Structure 1
Amino acid sequence: MSQNTASPHKNTSSGSGGWAAGGSLFAGVLMLVTGIMDIFQGIAGIAEDDVYTRVGDYVFKFNLTTWGWIHLVLGIVVAIAGYGILKGAEWGRVAGIALASLNVLAHFLFLPYQPWWALFSMAVSVFVIWALATDEGDGGERR
């Protein structure tokens, strides 16, 4: 009689398990890339106050230098969380969900300055939230 020593969360034959496991790795890469892009976006906003033009009138008005600092700090923290996810750290997964949620909010508020990039970044962040929330991790099988 042979015993199967494979852990249940490593089984990728189940429908969503494989997607979530591969999605978590991809989510870590996406967070790392998004963090780096936010860092560059923040540097651009800090260096030149007229890099971005506002499309229409919007309730949430901030100075572009302020947006630059927001994106710079958020980008650094998001990139660190992405690195944590890639290393398999539990804090990285939890921080990834929280920071991806914060990234959705920040890019929603940034819509009038870069509408297409903000929408794309929000969509990426929603995928990251889904991938990290459905990952089975080391805690065993989710039901």
Structure 2
Amino acid sequence: MSEDSLVKQGVAKGTSMGGAVLLVTVGVLEFLQGISAVAKDDVIVVGIEYTYQFDVTTWGWFHLVFGVIVAAVGAALFTGATWARVGAMILCALSIFVNFLWLPYYPLWAITIIALNAVVIWAVATWNPAKI
């Protein structure tokens, strides 16, 4: 195995472990964001009418369920299991789509989560646990 390959795998593994931490953190934050939306908290501000607008309570329940799933897959990603890596990529892709739809409510937060999900997808797709 070449030194460049070992370095690339080391970076991918480190980023994947960081991605696992991020997924667990994002899952918890999604869950809390869902609680805030379901409770009709004043933190969620409904603005302009958009074509794909959902009721804030609907968004809240989605974020509650999605947060639990993301946190669970993030925790499983620490093992390097293939199903957890594939699940992480699928959830990150779904999260990118969902946060695109969430842009009208919190643009900066949504863009940040989209960027972090892209990094996690790269890391998990690049990491080969068998090589390190």
Bigger Rg over Cα: 1
Pick aligned residue for 1:31 from 23, 28, 34: 23
**1:66 aligned counterpart, secondary structure:** helix
TM-score, normalising length: structure 1: 0.83
Give the distance between the partners of 2:86 and 2:8, measured in 1 at CA: 20
Give the distance between the partners of 1:86 and 1:96, measured in 2 at CA: 11
What code does the residue aligned with 1:67 have? W
User: Which runs of at least 4 in structure 1 moved beyond 4 Å after TM superposition?
Assistant: none
* Contact residue 100 and residue 126 of structure 1 kept, 8 A: yes
Give the paired residue count.
131
Which structure is higher in helix share?
Answer: 2
Pair 1:41 & 2:33 matched = yes
Q: Which runs of 5+ in 1 are unaligned?
A: 1-7
Cα deviation 1:2-61 (Å, max 9, x = unaligned): xxxxxx5xx787442221111111111110001000000001000116431234442210
* Contact residue 97 and residue 132 of structure 1 kept, 8 A: yes
**What's the CA shift for 1:74?**
0.7
Give the distance between the partners of 1:47 and 1:125, measured in 2 at CA: 27
**1:19 aligned counterpart, secondary structure:** helix
TM-score, normalising length: structure 2: 0.89
What code does the residue aligned with 1:84 have? A
**2:124 aligned counterpart, secondary structure:** helix
* Contact residue 42 and residue 67 of structure 1 kept, 8 A: yes
Indicate how the Cα distance of structure 1 residues 13 and 94 shifts in structure 2: closer, same or farther if over 3 A, else same. Answer: closer
* Contact residue 12 and residue 18 of structure 1 kept, 8 A: no
What code does the residue aligned with 1:24 have? S
Aligned to 1:3: none
Give the distance between the partners of 2:29 and 2:114, measured in 1 at CA: 13
Cα deviation 1:102-143 (Å, max 9, x = unaligned): 0111111011111111111111111111110111123x59xx
Q: Which runs of 5+ in 2 are unaligned?
A: none
Aligned to 2:58: 66
